[in-house]
Structure 1
């Protein structure tokens, strides 16, 4: 809720985040915003901060930023409740004290002086949203489509925007007369779980929209509202918030051509714990997203990107120039299986190995993985970190490659997530043949493994430290 306490500058926010990204967001708001009263929900993080809004809107691991209106327990509705009872419960839960809404309006108007998007961003809003949707949905394999549909139905939530009524001419209450111009608004409602079976988004939108129109005098505007009220109704929580930016944070202003989702690329760089003066290598850099995200955070490090594809290198070069990083970032055409670099010459290796329908490659990554890993280990100095983003299938293969024969139990104790039950597409090369050409990389010690949502499929994020030559 909007803070009305002793410290006027303290504001309660919440951010949405990709599944698996919540802890990165918690660490970021703690470090950068000195946030407190942090609460973690699935796909969301709530926090309070007195940091300037210009700092808050620079969060790199978040998807969207909201001014928190209300955090409440889940709705308790009977399947046989009559419409009048449902409307009463919704109104009391979602509207509550009108002072909360007038306070939120004051806070929102104050923040808009800094947060308001530029006109040129508004003109590109719809286009960038389409690009965002393609980035999220295009990373799927066809075999994952049924699972994706089920997941989207259960987790990604149904949406509806309030179509509104036209009874805004009712007498406005005293609570809204402090504002010379009434706000225009629309409602975006998202329901999931059992709530969606008992309650439609249209019902929620109608009750909330009618109440705001009648009691606060706000006016419905579906096309270009001043304010949008977002409602999340789930089995474990009820959230109301006001988006503070039009575009998702993943739409970076310093990246011209998008590749890997920027929030995930940032998380990879964060996990690597890059130090000042380090040389950071991405041996399959693509359009350079990971390196650019890392360079934005680490001003005193240098970066090298390799790729065998001329088209990718061309786009990466445009991105580097667009981000004004030519003095610290260099690109080179080279194969990840034969890197033109000396032994132990880089401090950090970060790499998103191509997989999925959108970012896949004609190269047989399962067959090439042993050689790629061997090269990464060779160029990495002792004490350096290796961060990899892999598909579940490649993660399974990685685990086998790094596990000496007969020590499977030891690998399980390390905490590497077992993904052997995940169905694979095609057959993997015999492990015995691969290990003959590339011995187990015993110098790489496992640190952590995390599962992240990449939209329609999941990826596994792994970190290793090189312990010896």
Structure 2
């Protein structure tokens, strides 16, 4: 249920999202916040809502949340412009009407009364998690050059102002005294974070952008620079197609979950997998390779009346998952079991949803030949899934190609090839990382003909990409 804020004021926000997550963000803000005037930009979603800020902060699909200060057309820099002309363009585009800034300050101060929380207590640990899972990175594999170029365009360069930036000479136009702050007798302390990408990054000095903006805010509004612990941070995004200015509404990204002790899969992607599965009250949700339990925990936070089961063969992973379950206080709705994903101790057609992030990549990969094990794993998932149940898988591009071949190969010969592959799996490789022999099933596997494809999405996992697949089981 959407609760409208007592202030009954419409606030304009924008948030950042990982590659491929935009539609999840749009669906979530529409459903949870009754948002409107939604605008989608590359890696960002703008929206307006009147709901309480505490509800806005509960968004699960976004990385960072901002109060929108200014949305403008891209900068138009004249060819071969001198520094003075560039500064003039920056002032007119980024600053504009100072009333817009004072109005944003008033909104920010009002929101601060309810935005403040216990983030500082976990800032150190969460910041390390952020560094381990940077949204922008370099990809390994066949798509390396494409993905590296795309992320460079998305992220661009960043510059944060320093105190030395304000030693620059004052501009002739900026000699008027600072305006009195009508909202507080104490001037705001601030710093500026500027991110520039595209062709602008080749022709525009990030230092100059931050300097021009910082000098004017100091002179016109009386704000004070504080690089260590500012009250407010002004974030500037400059791209070839738009110009955005905003104020972060939390110290840490919303993607840093306070209810997860040990991180695994990126929380926003784990949430997206659970959302795609369309879990309902009373469902039994299974993750046959649960790792530290991130997907199940995200799903359990969202669906209070469903039950969850996680399987894994790695004792260390199960121990971390158990700690996470206890930390999130989900012990009554989530159970963990040591078992193989190729021979699950579950009756046929006993679960409503199967969600699974099959390990891949340098960080999450295993010693197992996952490509060879995939037919067996899929057959077991299909067996335990009830008719009309959902199967949601996160795979590498390479494993996705193998998955497509498995599910689309002709009916004749499918069983034989699956059996031959299964025999090879049993005799030559373990099924998951550090997995001992657990009595793998050796009986013939039926062809995977009951899984009907619903959708495939490409998502950024940080340093690599993954493909998110959804299937529905149509018959026994």
Whole-Å separation in 1 of the counterparts to 2:81 and 2:138:
41
Deviating beyond 6 angstroms after TM superposition, the runs of 4 or more aligned structure 1 residues are 137-141, 167-171
TM-score, normalised with respect to structure 1: 0.89
Any idea what SS the aligned residue of 1:402 has?
helix
The one of 127, 130, 140 equivalent to 2:128 is: 130
Q: Tell me the CA shift for residue 269 of structure 1.
A: 0.3
Q: Tell me the CA shift for residue 117 of structure 1.
A: 3.5
Q: Answer whether contact 1:139 1:454 (CA < 8 A) is retained.
A: no
Q: Give the 3 Å change call, closer, same or farther, for CA 462–43 of structure 1 in structure 2.
A: same
Q: Tell me the CA shift for residue 131 of structure 1.
A: 1.7
Q: Can you list the C-alpha shifts for 1:312-348, whole angstroms capped at 9, x where unaligned?
A: 0000000001111111100000000000000000000
Residue matched to 2:214: 209
Residue matched to 1:39: 39
The one of 189, 192, 197 equivalent to 2:202 is: 197
Residue matched to 2:376: 371
Deviates more, 1:78-87 or 1:329-338: 78-87
Unaligned stretches of 5+ in structure 1? 1-6, 408-429
The one of 331, 334, 338 equivalent to 2:343 is: 338
Residue matched to 2:453: 446
Q: Answer whether contact 1:277 1:301 (CA < 8 A) is retained.
A: yes
Whole-Å separation in 1 of the counterparts to 2:361 and 2:208:
38
Q: How does 1:50-89 map to 2 (within 5 A)?
A: 50-89=50-89
Q: Tell me the CA shift for residue 439 of structure 1.
A: 5.0
Residue matched to 1:165: 166
Whole-Å separation in 2 of the counterparts to 1:385 and 1:293:
17
Any idea what SS the aligned residue of 1:287 has?
coil
Q: How does 1:386-425 map to 2 (within 5 A)?
A: 386-405=391-410
Whole-Å separation in 1 of the counterparts to 2:316 and 2:97:
57
Alignment length, in residue pairs? 439
Residue matched to 2:290: 285
Q: Give the 3 Å change call, closer, same or farther, for CA 106–141 of structure 1 in structure 2.
A: closer
Question: What RMSD, in angstroms, separates the aligned Cα atoms of the two structures?
Answer: 2.3
Q: How does 1:286-325 map to 2 (within 5 A)?
A: 286-325=291-330
Any idea what SS the aligned residue of 1:174 has?
coil
Q: Give the 3 Å change call, closer, same or farther, for CA 376–117 of structure 1 in structure 2.
A: same
Residue matched to 2:438: none
Whole-Å separation in 2 of the counterparts to 1:333 and 1:141:
32
Residue matched to 1:98: 98
Whole-Å separation in 2 of the counterparts to 1:138 and 1:241:
20
Q: How does 1:142-161 map to 2 (within 5 A)?
A: 142-143=140-141, 149-161=148-160
Q: Tell me the CA shift for residue 166 of structure 1.
A: 5.5
TM-score, normalised with respect to structure 2: 0.88
Any idea what SS the aligned residue of 2:133 has?
helix
Unaligned stretches of 5+ in structure 2? 1-6, 424-443
Q: Answer whether contact 1:61 1:263 (CA < 8 A) is retained.
A: yes
Q: Give the 3 Å change call, closer, same or farther, for CA 61–176 of structure 1 in structure 2.
A: same
Residue matched to 1:422: none
Q: Answer whether contact 2:285 2:353 (CA < 8 A) is retained.
A: yes
Q: Give the 3 Å change call, closer, same or farther, for CA 52–215 of structure 1 in structure 2.
A: same
Q: Answer whether contact 1:38 1:48 (CA < 8 A) is retained.
A: yes
1:459 aligned onto 2:466? yes
Residue matched to 2:4: none
Residue matched to 2:48: 48
Q: Tell me the CA shift for residue 434 of structure 1.
A: 3.7
Residue matched to 2:186: 181
Q: Tell me the CA shift for residue 14 of structure 1.
A: 0.3
Whole-Å separation in 1 of the counterparts to 2:138 and 2:90:
37
Q: Answer whether contact 2:419 2:445 (CA < 8 A) is retained.
A: no
Q: Can you list the C-alpha shifts for 1:8-46, whole angstroms capped at 9, x where unaligned?
A: 611000010011001001000001100000001111100
